[in-house]
Structure 1
């Protein structure tokens, strides 16, 4: 059959093809409709495609199918290009009968369940490259479903339900009687797919993670993959790429059970996020996740350097937002053990940051305002304890109530200038409470210790003021003398 090249096709400005109009139009409904509407007998025509899926490579594969009488080799490396081209060019049964590309690729997709893992990865990567084109989403969803099915089928069930993060109390691992080495091997078998899915773009991560969550996949494993993905992508990415990756990972972690998310790894992401200028909503989500597990924090975790350009040492505002997230559900929802841990941590934190001479009250716009629900709960609890007419006045002071006093003292603390006022408040509370002497000696000692520590902090601040004043005066005199005296 004689072949004439009477049609010029410009594909996305990448490459121009000279093809036989009759052959191509016999399989492509889009071109058949276009030429059916054209009038005149021009021999040479030109068609320009600006949004052809897969570009020149995809058009060439489609053309080979047309020139080969509707036959071609379909494999995992080209099926996404052929399928998208067939949809775009309307190569269905109404145009070419039984030999149509859309039907052939559809049959091959039905056999996807028999593909190997590597073949699925190849097809998914090709589909990811076609994401800007809307016709590529259908095959991409099928690939993602197959990938998740393979991961779910090969993953062993966790030893026990994921009720805590891997680096918290260890309860998750201790509930199984198998040896530690066996658990490590089981965990490695559950994470074998981590490296294979690092090619996923930020747009595709959500398509993979959300179905895994809906299918009740282990949240601990999902969170470990997200942290691994973030570290791998941020190691060599640009600042903009790092920002997108961190925002995506935070959004995906937020839909998991927060108790399954590693507290230590959250602080690792926080260090990256503080330098990436991420969205406010993503930052708020990260702070909420950290604050919800604040009872697991250490003093080193909270000693976060202040933002660039600030003259004080530590980012106290960030810690206050963590505390707000910790008390978000109300004080009644926090266990006494958690309150005791956070109260002790705040005691250490105040002792560390209060001596900073650059820390002023206006540096600490506490997010725990008077209108905050949890603060109201604290204040109402304290007011009941401090009023002689209260029904609770005759009850002995419990450890939980002492912790409430401690937390309220921290919330009220604006800077070192208010330490004296805080100390006086503690004395007032201690005097108003009628403490029995039989079971509350420890509580009395704790309150006195709090008062003593606050007094010591005030004394340290007073001692630092004199040396700082001398240093500043010496600097001023040095600068003034250098300007007034001529150089010899």
Structure 2
């Protein structure tokens, strides 16, 4: 609790909140309540009835007109000769505030507190209880209590601002909201050295609000004696929980005032996240997507129920809360809750500081998911997408798996949204690198930019692997998202190859041309050894891609072997191994499990290939046996028809031998020529017969 030095003086001056009027026109001992009616305990019968809703106040005219300008005008300016009843359903604060104002008119002591001061101040303004009618009238005294007592106390300022939720627009016009917001902002931004922290045993197990006073009385000293440490430092987020109980419009006023005071944007962002976590229950729940029999997407969110506002959550059989966003009609209550949540999201987006890393990327993505689901204004959604793009490298795969809420869309996840986020990230990177202030940065910052792109590349590859299982994902959207990043962002295309292989598994009906088009997004020279081994035996890939993979691997091996020094070979292969280890460490668990499954598929394919080879050898032996049998049968058929021809051939052979013997007397050279000629003619003749 905050207390100023003038707090005790103010309470002493105003009787510790006990308010009385100076004149006593009607002697009374107080009000008596019977059911919904109030009577004045006096001997004079009442002559005036004030009706507020179901409450009836049986009063007297003179005490009211002597201090209320509105009552006086109504009674004296009425066309009726004798007005004895009035209906005032529009009085701010309701019958509770009017009861206190009526008691003040009768001179009955009224206890002013932080809970009733705002309603009494607004009702006094409504009843026109000004100084013109009586010095020290209700407006003056309630205004003094607000200024000197309430605004000097942290707790009272919070309570008054909370009570103003039902007093609009009166509380706004009377500047109660503005003054309380500025008081809270001033105390939240105060120097912690002037705050004495004390533990008061708050039930939420969180340390309580500090007290704005370096001097303490004996009671405070006894409390501090039981605390763990009197000199406990004030945590920077001490004011988060107290401010988070406010309604969203008042919370925005407080945060705006805190911004003007110059508080660090990291603390403001943390306060916004704390508020959103409390009032947007769907923000911290995990979303899972399942298919039903009608091919609609059912999105279920499980989280603990609380008193905060929520969307159209309904009880599920699993003990959690489930939210159905496809089909179905909403009742009136759900519609009102959806409007409240939409207003909260739009207000939070508008007050997030513009600096980078004000809030976490996970918070922005979950806020974006709810904004799309509740159909927040498109301009605010675009602004939120740009903020996500500023720190897109901090995102996780689970945060990017945002369901597609567009009607008529058959895809399971919103791939177009991720593409827009990636484009905002690239635009932001290009803007920072081309700005004059960024041109003089060191190489360390340039390396951080490259690391950011590498992280985004791994994130996009993992996202593509996940969404590729959706059979409604078109090839064009997959290709556009895969090619959105520059080539320098990926040092290894193993993740991209994994996504391509997953897409080919989920879409077995792709044509050869479509498969080639899909594989163009991958660079075969950036694949690791494991990926090359898998791709070389992957029957889903086009043959041309398999050849490219084998050629790229052969080039790597040739380059390594052609190096004359063993030292150079080691330096060539060592980065490859290091890159593989780094890749495996940075690869998601689902990706590594996919590689294990792929290795099992490779072993299965090897076994099937050996079986096919054995069957092929058996078929080849059977074919040779059949060929031999066929040749044998063919020779048997031709032997009878060719017997006479073979006899003629033998006679011609004998005649040729005789002629050769007669020519032996010729020179040896001539004999050799003739023998060669006869041999050729005989072979030619034999060939012609066969």
- TM-score bracket, shorter-length normalisation: 0.5 to 0.7
CA-based RMSD of the aligned residues comes to 4.3
Q: For the structure 1 residues 460 and 226, does the alpha-carbon distance in structure 2 shift closer, same or farther, using more than 3 Å as the test?
A: farther
Count of aligned residue pairs for this structure pair: 381
Question: 2:156 matched to 1:58?
Answer: no
Secondary structure of 2:57 counterpart:
strand
Unpaired stretches in structure 2, ≥5 consecutive residues:
1-25, 27-42, 195-231, 282-305, 312-337, 434-445, 505-509, 544-690
Q: For the structure 1 residues 242 and 419, does the alpha-carbon distance in structure 2 shift closer, same or farther, using more than 3 Å as the test?
A: farther
Once residues 35 and 202 of structure 1 are traced to their aligned partners in structure 2, the CA distance between those partners, rounded to angstroms, is 41
- 1:128·1:140 contact (CA, 8 Å) conserved in 2? no
Secondary structure of 1:18 counterpart:
strand
Question: 2:268 matched to 1:222?
Answer: yes
Once residues 306 and 138 of structure 1 are traced to their aligned partners in structure 2, the CA distance between those partners, rounded to angstroms, is 44
Question: 2:447 matched to 1:343?
Answer: no
- Select the structure with the greater relative contact order (CA < 8 A; seq sep ≥ 6): 1
Aligned to 2:552: none
Describe how 1:192-207 pairs up with structure 2 within 5 A. 192-207=238-253
Once residues 195 and 234 of structure 1 are traced to their aligned partners in structure 2, the CA distance between those partners, rounded to angstroms, is 15
Cα drift, residue 448 of structure 1: 10
Aligned to 2:154: 117
Cα drift, residue 313 of structure 1: 4.3
Describe how 1:289-308 pairs up with structure 2 within 5 A. 289-307=387-405
Question: 2:90 matched to 1:18?
Answer: no
Once residues 104 and 187 of structure 2 are traced to their aligned partners in structure 1, the CA distance between those partners, rounded to angstroms, is 32
Describe how 1:48-447 pairs up with structure 2 within 5 A. 48-68=87-107, 72-96=110-134, 98-112=135-149, 115-133=152-170, 137-153=174-190, 189-235=235-281, 236=306, 237-239=309-311, 240=338, 241-253=340-352, 255-273=353-371, 275-307=373-405, 311-329=410-428, 331-334=430-433, 336-337=449-450, 338-354=452-468, 356-361=470-475, 402-403=488-489, 420-421=516-517, 424=520, 446=526
- 2:50·2:56 contact (CA, 8 Å) conserved in 1? yes
Secondary structure of 2:262 counterpart:
coil
Larger Rg: 2
Secondary structure of 1:111 counterpart:
helix
Q: For the structure 1 residues 67 and 294, does the alpha-carbon distance in structure 2 shift closer, same or farther, using more than 3 Å as the test?
A: same
Aligned to 2:569: none
Cα drift, residue 330 of structure 1: 7.0
> Normalised by the size of structure 2, how large is the TM-score?
0.48
- 1:14·1:55 contact (CA, 8 Å) conserved in 2? no
Secondary structure of 1:34 counterpart:
helix
Secondary structure of 1:251 counterpart:
helix
Secondary structure of 2:114 counterpart:
coil
> Normalised by the size of structure 1, how large is the TM-score?
0.65
Once residues 271 and 251 of structure 1 are traced to their aligned partners in structure 2, the CA distance between those partners, rounded to angstroms, is 16
Once residues 536 and 412 of structure 2 are traced to their aligned partners in structure 1, the CA distance between those partners, rounded to angstroms, is 20
Secondary structure of 1:91 counterpart:
coil
Cα drift, residue 60 of structure 1: 0.6
Cα drift, residue 286 of structure 1: 2.7
Q: For the structure 1 residues 32 and 456, does the alpha-carbon distance in structure 2 shift closer, same or farther, using more than 3 Å as the test?
A: farther
Once residues 479 and 68 of structure 2 are traced to their aligned partners in structure 1, the CA distance between those partners, rounded to angstroms, is 66
Q: For the structure 1 residues 135 and 302, does the alpha-carbon distance in structure 2 shift closer, same or farther, using more than 3 Å as the test?
A: closer
Unpaired stretches in structure 1, ≥5 consecutive residues:
158-184, 369-374, 379-399, 428-443, 464-488
Encode CA deviations 1:188-240: one digit per residue, 9 max, x unaligned: 71112222223211221211111112222122222222222222223433312
